[in-house]
Structure 1
Amino acid sequence: AIVSSKDLIDKYTTNMWILISSTWHDEIEKQLKELGIKNIKTYSLNEYVNNTYIKNGTSESYKRYFIEEVNEFEKFYNMLEDLDSRQVFKNLIAYRISGNLDCLKESSFSQYFHPKVHPVKGDVIIDGGGFTGDTVKQFNNYLHSCCKIHSFVPSSNNYAQMVSFIEVENLLNVTAVQAGLGEKIGKFCMNPIKDGNNPGYSISTERSEEIMVISLDEYVEK
């Protein structure tokens, strides 16, 4: 139920705590305190990360990995030509090591649509990891479907949803390919990531789902 600020003050602040669980917890807490409400508990995303990402050792593991491969990280950093990309890269490393979400800054532009690097009408777009059609929808909306999209979806479940999405939306400019992209043709076992926070998949030796992987060069030649 939605409660007005007046009812919140008159009826709910004397005998219960107000729990804030929102990305905008700082702003909400500030507004409540300005109303004179003090019995506030905040459960922020940073606390969630501290309870999972850091305590399960992921942060420490990444820190060791960074130290071991620091030369490779530096090579990649030097390959980035613009300052924005370099800053994003540094922010990601800082987040991975510290688990502090404040290291991640909101981008000034939408994903895939950089002011200087973005698709244009007539492009042939390779959508590597098309999931169930979310990126296809973004590209078509941006280009008014004036493009050709080849979307690679290795998971059989996601591929079925992608095909259904294409049929329902009558997307004549989209080709769904049930395969992953890699260095060369091969078959691999793929499993869902089971950490509860990641909807993706990982290549595994355990036989969960066998997928086909092809190279982009070989696909284009066909």
Structure 2
Amino acid sequence: MSNSLKLFLENQLEFFNQHKRVAVFGAGSGGQQVIEWLRKSNITVCRVYDNDPTKHGIPVCGVEVFTPNKQIINDYPVVIASTWNKEIKQQLSELACTLFIDASITGLSNTPITSDWLTQLKWLEEQLVDDDSKLVLEDIAHYLEQPEKGMPKAKYEQYQHPKLHLIKNATIIDGGAFDALSSINLHHHYGLETKVTAFEPDPGNVLKCKQLIANYEHKEKISLIEKGVWDKEETLYFNSSNSVHGASSSANSQGDIQVPVTGIDIALKGHKVHMIKLDVEGAELKALQGAKKTILSDKPILAICLYHYFDDLWILPKYIKELNPKYRFYIGHHTNNWFETVLYAI
């Protein structure tokens, strides 16, 4: 594993091994996820800070939210859990905070932080085929340390890795179509004879999909399924795109809408699938589990987003390898910030 990433994770491990009672800075959705992750890691969250006065005094995950100030900021070590991490670091310095760490990305994980993370990331690096992919892990380390400096982007477009080649009349799954622009781009890039089946559950986004597809000159090649991809057929609560300011919708038991979801194995039963693209806001593992039979039988190319949970960096590749150890892995990154890291499995 890259020395930079190893050192970064060792520093995080040391911090959380030494400090079992902390305060969290950030009362939003990210902060709530980090609080749950800290609890999984046997760390007690004693206080929450946030700059939004409307949140002060209101419990988040059972912990009261306070205004950050010099009188109380050093009562506990501070764990940053917000996309405003750069600004919060500056604020903590101005408040003379003596001990804090940024877990705004690593804290978005399903597994507790242990030394096993180092083992898993080393495994991932050993599975990567080329140096460009391994360099992405180095770039991730630099970004985690200094997010304000940004992150290099791949020279190729997202979901269009140069090693990906499809037959002329391939069937492509676009899991998490959002507004269907990704579906159109996939169809245009991989050939006009390809067929794209797009999945999108959010009603607001479905309208956008229908409008964009209707105006596409090859609209007959793109079909839209108004469901999310999951491991089975059911109905879930979702945070709609409206509730998260136009971002992609995501499964959440406290969500503001209910939407139908299905498995790729169910929806595409009897159809051969040549490529599966997934950007489903943290439901990638569930979606892969719902495509198990398809992956085993058709061996499709996979383009799977890895950035929604930090530990998806190894959890998703490991699941794919368990299904078929012959898959070869590449990683590409497609924005200058944390988002849009993609696993390409061939």
Residue type of the partner of 2:233?
I
1:50 aligns with 2:86: yes
1:139 aligns with 2:186: yes
Q: CA RMSD in A?
A: 3.2
Q: 1:115 to 1:94 in 2, by over 3 A?
A: same
Look up the match of 1:62. 105
Q: Secondary structure, in 3 states, of the residue corresponding to 1:74?
A: helix
Note if contact 2:178-2:248 (Cα within 8 Å) is conserved in structure 1: no
Residue type of the partner of 1:130?
A
Look up the match of 2:231. 183
Q: 1:91 to 1:141 in 2, by over 3 A?
A: same
Q: Secondary structure, in 3 states, of the residue corresponding to 1:221?
A: coil
Q: Deviations over 1:164-218 (max 9, x none)?
A: 222232500111011111222222111147776x822332111411122211111
More helix as a share of residues: 1
2:160 to 113, 118, 123: 113
Note if contact 2:125-2:134 (Cα within 8 Å) is conserved in structure 1: yes
Q: Deviations over 1:30-79 (max 9, x none)?
A: xxxxxxxxxxxxxxxxxx76126987999424345584361443333333
Question: How do 1:139-178 residues align onto structure 2 when only pairs under 5 Å count?
Answer: 139-170=186-217, 171-178=219-226
- Structure with larger Rg: 1
Q: 1:120 deviation in Å?
A: 4.8
Distance in 2 of aligned mates of 1:105 and 1:200: 23
Equivalences, count: 173
Unaligned ranges ≥5, structure 1? 1-47
The TM-score, its normalising length taken from structure 2, stands at: 0.43
Look up the match of 1:84. 132
Distance in 1 of aligned mates of 2:226 and 2:101: 32
Q: 1:145 to 1:74 in 2, by over 3 A?
A: same
Note if contact 1:53-1:99 (Cα within 8 Å) is conserved in structure 2: no
The TM-score, its normalising length taken from structure 1, stands at: 0.64
1:122 to 166, 169, 178: 169
Residue type of the partner of 1:206?
Q
1:204 aligns with 2:252: yes
Q: 1:101 deviation in Å?
A: 4.5
Higher relative contact order (CA 8 A, sep 6+): 2
Q: Secondary structure, in 3 states, of the residue corresponding to 2:197?
A: strand
| Identity fraction in percent | 18
